[in-house]
Amino acid sequence: MTTIELLPQPPEGRHASEPWPQAKKYYFNVSSSHEEGGTRDYAMMTTKLTGEEGQVQRLHGVRVEFDRDRLDRPLMNTMRVVPGSEFSIPATLVLLAMGFVHPVHEGLIADLRVALDPRGNVRADTRRFATSEPGVFAAGDCRRGQSLVVWAQWEGREAARCVDMYLQGNSRLQSRNAHV
């Protein structure tokens, strides 16, 4: 079994400049499942699956790389293909466990010309949910990245109130945010 991850291999521990509890919680680890066998490879992107008669036989992909911030974290909006890194591996079963890197930039986000944060999410004020473009608001996963649905619900309600205030000058919608 081979596990392929789009992102670079996580660090083995926290960066010295990240004191607990601010430290990221995503570290490289080895569980008993990993010890039983299989390989893991990082910074790889699947480009296609090939096979015959509806049965997959090969997974094709490329290696990717990212610029990094001062804490050596990958900057998601800088992903690029490593030239000449194409590969192909045999496959009889492919299971997709896809997380969320950042919202798709092509289309609406690019057309609106909103600023992005270093992770590739829409940059928005966390008090008013306003983006860099007047009259454009962002909330939920497109602003904060992959998170719990309750955060998306809360931010959606708060953003709706902020939009109401922007359009009407005030709002009758209740806020659970002390900042607004």
pLDDT tens per residue, range 57-76? 999 999 999 998 877 778 87
Does residue 145 lie within any of the structural domains? yes
pLDDT at 82 over 90: yes
Residue 17 has what pLDDT? Answer: 66
Token pair recorded at residue 44: 């790889």
pLDDT tens per residue, range 137-164? 999 999 998 888 888 889 999 999 999 9
Residue 34 has what pLDDT? Answer: 65
Please check whether residues 163 and 124 belong to one and the same domain.
yes
| Domain residue limits at 28 | 2-90
Does residue 49 lie within any of the structural domains? yes
Please check whether residues 127 and 77 belong to one and the same domain.
no
Does residue 8 lie within any of the structural domains? yes
Question: Looking at per-residue confidence, does 12 or 83 come out higher?
Answer: 83
Residue 111 has what pLDDT? Answer: 94
What is the C-alpha separation between 129 and 68, in angstroms, rounded? 26
Task: Decide if 158 contacts 151 (C-beta within 8 A).
Answer: no
Residue 180 has what pLDDT? Answer: 47
What is the C-alpha separation between 105 and 76, in angstroms, rounded? 12
Mean pLDDT check: name the lowest of 15-29, 39-53, 115-129: 15-29
The number of folded domains in the chain is 2
DSSP string spanning 125-179?
Answer: -TTT-B-SSTT-B--THHHH-S--HHHHHHHHHHHHHHHHHHHHSS--S----TT
Q: Examine the fold and report which residue of 61, 90, 119 is the final residue of a domain before the chain moves on.
A: 90
**H/E element, 48:** strand 44-52
What is the C-alpha separation between 122 and 58, in angstroms, rounded? 36
Please check whether residues 84 and 120 belong to one and the same domain.
no
Cβ neighbour number for residue 22 with a 10 Å cutoff? 8
What does the pLDDT average to over 93-100? Answer: 77
Please check whether residues 76 and 19 belong to one and the same domain.
yes
β partners of residue 51: 56
